[in-house]
């Protein structure tokens, strides 16, 4: 049984090795400054409980803030349910993004809705 496990793990490693090599070398933009300019950045929502921003959503919002602050976009679009979009907007406002530059997409129950 141990021999089978070792062979299986080896084959699994060989199967995934090219993926990890390509992934480790893929970085289309090395810095925020090299990002192309755009009208807006869209932040896809995740589950929001109460007024708490999950770590995944915080990561997305922080990335949008960084992009906005280097002037690569003019606005941030937050896409989620109405209540969650408002929580996202409050997070952005607390991080000094002007309310006029935040656009709410409150009709997105699922990602394709955006």
Q: Where are the domains of the chain?
A: 32-113
Least confident of 15-24, 72-81, 101-110: 15-24
Tell me the pLDDT tens digit for each residue of 62-76: 999 999 999 999 999
What pLDDT score does 71 carry?
A: 94
| Strand residue runs (E) in the chain | 40-44, 75-79, 102-105
Tell me the pLDDT tens digit for each residue of 17-55: 888 777 777 666 678 888 889 999 999 988 888 888 999
Question: What is the model's pTM?
Answer: 0.72
The span from the CA of 15 to the CA of 7, in Å, is 12
């Amino acid at each position: 049984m141990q021999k089978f496990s070792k062979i299986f793990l080896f084959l699994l490693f060989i199967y995934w090795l090219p993926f990890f090599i390509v992934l480790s070398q893929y970085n289309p933009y090395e810095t925020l400054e090299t990002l192309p300019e755009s009208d807006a950045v869209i932040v896809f929502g995740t589950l929001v409980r109460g007024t708490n921003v999950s770590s995944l959503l915080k990561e997305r919002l922080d990335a949008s803030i960084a992009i906005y602050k280097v002037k690569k976009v003019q606005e941030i679009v937050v896409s989620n349910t109405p209540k969650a979009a408002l929580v996202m907007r409050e997070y952005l406002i607390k991080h000094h993004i002007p309310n006029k530059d935040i656009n709410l997409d409150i009709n997105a129950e699922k990602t394709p809705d955006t």
